[in-house]
Chains A and B, each alone.
Chain A
Amino acid sequence: MLQSLGKYLLFMSTLFIRKESGRILFNRTIDEAILIGINSIIIVAIVSTFIGAVTCVQVAYNLDNAFIPRSTIGFMVREMTILELAPTITSIVLAGKVGSSIAGGLGTMQITEQVDALEVMGINSASYLVLPKVVAAILVFPMLVILAMFLSILGGYVAGTLSGEVTAQEYITGIRDQFIPYNITFALIKSVVFAFLISSISSFRGYYTTGGALEVGAASTAAVTNSVIAILIGDFVLAYLLL
């Protein structure tokens, strides 16, 4: 465990020595960002919409008290999704989607000697392959999280109004009530941290694959489980430090 951590830190340091030219890394980053964004947008949209809807319905069920205004439902959906559900659940979903694809891709490149081919050309394969992925994830994850926030609040609205638990007017009043802009900043900080954790851990797992197709599968699985654990620990640490 400690050994892996040490190896991981060493790996991260190799990303920043003997980098390729900025232009090449920039182009690679754009490619990776497009890949991550396009591949993830639909799953993020579906998950966040339903999370918003479910949150709304459950909050409504729990707020069965005449003294509490119905607009509280909108307020609570906003608070829960922006602070926790949108960044964290989205990141966990992305750990499965992006993490496994990063680890699988790098693992395959490793076992088919494509990484060696890069090295032989005098290219720092770690920085060429991994750095753009990490940077791209850091750029794209916050966008996906913003999308997720928006869609989960929308999901709550649709579920709440369709089920008749809350009127449109009440919901909108609720989501505008006591709005703290810092919460959005906090969520975006979380998404950046999670982006870094997922992309770097998955790259690390994939990059050090040895063996065959079986090991590539194992690396993907390890990438996802390790990333999810890291996200949850990171979530706790950030909440503790920044709230």
Chain B
Amino acid sequence: MIEIHNIHKAFGDKKVLDGVSGVFETGKTNLLLGASGTGKSVLLKCIVGLIKPDLGSVTFDGTYFTNNKLDIRQEIRRKIGMLFQSSALFDSMTVEKNVEFPLKMLTDMNKEERMERVNFCLKRVGLEGSNKKMPAELSGGMKKRVGIARAIAPHCTYLFCDEPNSGLDPQTALKIDELIKEITEEYNITTIIVTHDMNSVIEIGDKIFFLHEGKKLWEGTRDEIMDSNIKELNEFIFANRLMRDAKKVEEEEREEEEERQHNGQLSASQGKEKAPSEETVETQDEPQPENPEGPAATTQTGKDKV
């Protein structure tokens, strides 16, 4: 279990984190959700101590981490596996050496055991056969996957992933999400994943923390997320659907436009003919509510007015 309390961080006079607190439970995939530039990566780095928070504290399973003695922090860090947003592979080493590296440094496995583990991890991320490639020869998504393999290779107690599936196709992304969830549950580790992918939220979000402009606005489970009444969160979640809706509205407007033209033709010959069309035209000019049933309803009321 990782607890963070009142984390503040500013770069110069730019406030990035503004008092973030939370508890990340063991055996659960905790998601940090938020738009680009809200400070998710910075928060993750504050938790692992790569960035020193201006204020606030982090505890790992009850052990105070921030500002603690170097060897205690180092002890905790040796239990951390981390995937960086930029993958951060060691570019002077092959894929295999990259994944082997933490095993060599942090465990007393012999060469054979290490290679077995390396091959196992590479297989889990779907990269068997890329052992001898250099990072420069990999695609962005492949680098991400090597990064994940490197993070999970030494059985860590805490796993941090900064956007594990950005840049991956939906199928691979799903596989990676499932892999992380599986590892989390199988080894009962504390996992924190930074993401802005709603699919991940639905798939693996045991606990979700929504960050907005350096503040935690909401936390809850994936079942609760749809029913939240936080405006920013809803805007974030339904960004996609909004676009779909926007498209729908556009189509409706086009239909209305056609209808209007049609009515216009009618109203040109209106003098001799019946009045209703005129009323319809008038009502069309009124401001329309956003909901899809809007136009029909207004027309209806328009008619009712007559």
| In contact, A18 and B74 (Cβ under 8 angstroms) | yes
Contact A114 B88, CB 8 Å, known A18-B70, A119-B50, A120-B82? yes
Q: Please tell me if A63 contacts chain B, counting CB pairs below 8 Å.
A: no
Q: For residues 170 through 191 of chain A, which have their beta carbon under 8 Å from a beta carbon of chain B?
A: none
Bound complex: CA A24 to CA B108 (Å): 12
Complex interface residues of chain A between 117 and 163 (CB less than 8 A to chain B): 117, 119-124
What separation, in Å, do the CA atoms of A60 and B306 have in the docked complex? 119
CB within 8 Å of A: which B101-153 residues: 101-102, 104-106
Question: Of A108, A113, A117, A122, which one neighbours B74 at CB under 8 angstroms?
Answer: A122
- Residues 207-247 of chain B, each 1 if its beta carbon lies under 8 Å from chain A, else 0: 00000000000000000000000000000000000000000
Interface size on B, residues (CB 8 A): 23
B60 at the interface (CB under 8 A from A): no
B86, chain A: closest CB distance, angstroms: 5
In contact, B77 and A120 (Cβ under 8 angstroms):
yes
Query: Is B187 at the interface (CB under 8 A from chain A)?
Result: no
* Interface 0/1 of B16-54, CB less than 8 Å to A: 000000000000000000000000000001001010000
- CA A116 to CA B147, docked complex, whole Å: 13
Nearest residue (CB) in A for B102 is: A121
Please determine whether A116 and B88 come into contact, CB atoms closer than 8 angstroms: yes
Known: A18-B70, A24-B105. A120 touches B90 (CB 8 A): no
What total count of A-B pairs have CB within 8 Å? 50
Complex: how many Å from CA A108 to CA B88?
11
Which chain A residues have a beta carbon within 8 Å of chain B's beta carbons?
17-18, 20, 24, 108-109, 112-114, 116-117, 119-124
Q: Which residues of B contact A123 (CB under 8 A)?
A: 105
Q: How far is the CB of B72 from chain A (nearest CB, A)?
A: 11
In chain B, positions 52-90 with a C-beta closer than 8 Å to chain A are 70-71, 74-78, 80, 82, 84, 86, 88-90
A122 surroundings in chain B (CB, below 8 A): 74-78, 80, 106
Per the bound structure, the CA–CA distance linking A24 and B295 in Å amounts to 74
Cβ of B3 to closest chain A Cβ, rounded Å: 19
B91 within 8 A of partner (CB) = yes
Are B88 and A121 closer than 8 Å at their CB atoms? no
When C-beta atoms are compared, the residue in chain A nearest to B160 turns out to be A120
Known: A122-B74, A122-B75. 17 other contacts (CB 8 A): A18-B71, A20-B105, A24-B104, A108-B91, A109-B90, A114-B88, A114-B89, A114-B90, A117-B82, A117-B90, A120-B77, A120-B82, A121-B77, A121-B78, A121-B105, A122-B76, A122-B106
**Among A109, A114, A123, residue most surrounded by chain B Cβ atoms (within 10 Å):** A114
- Residue from A17, A20, A108, A120 within 8 A of B48 (CB atoms): A120
Question: Cα distance A119–B78 when bound, in Å?
Answer: 9
Q: How far, in angstroms, from A120 to B158 measured CA to CA in the complex?
A: 11
CA distance A114 to B80 in the complex (A): 15
Minimum Cβ distance to chain A for residue B270 (Å): 68
Using Cβ atoms and an 8 Å threshold, which residues of chain A touch B89?
Answer: 114
Q: Which residues of B contact A121 (CB under 8 A)?
A: 77-78, 80, 101-102, 105-106
Nearest CB of A to B272, in Å: 75
List 25 interface pairs A-B (beta carbons < 8 Å), by A numbering: A17-B70, A24-B105, A112-B86, A112-B88, A113-B84, A113-B86, A113-B88, A114-B89, A114-B90, A114-B91, A116-B50, A116-B84, A116-B88, A117-B84, A119-B50, A120-B80, A120-B82, A121-B80, A121-B105, A122-B74, A122-B76, A122-B77, A122-B78, A122-B80, A124-B74
CB distance from A26 to the nearest CB of B (A): 14
Chain B residues with CB below 8 A from A114, complex form? 88-91
| Set of chain B residues within 8 Å of A17, measured between Cβ atoms | 70
B86: chain A residues at CB < 8 Å are: 112-113
Contacts of B82 in A (CB 8 A): 117, 120
* Cα A112 to Cα B80 with chains together (Å): 19
Interface centre among A24, A120, A122, by most B CB within 10 Å?
A: A120
Q: How far is the CB of A160 from chain B (nearest CB, A)?
A: 45
The 5 A-B residue pairs whose C-beta atoms are closest, nearest first, are A122-B77, A113-B88, A122-B78, A117-B88, A122-B74
B177 to chain A, nearest CB (A): 22
Nearest chain B CB to A88 CB, angstrom units: 31
In the complex the two chains form, what is the Cα distance from A27 to B268 in whole Å? 92
Report the minimum CB–CB distance from B121 to chain A (whole Å).
15
CB distance from B106 to the nearest CB of A (A): 6
Q: Which chain A residues lie closer than 8 Å to B45 at the CB level?
A: 116
Which residue from chain B places its CB closest to the CB of A121 in the assembled complex?
B102
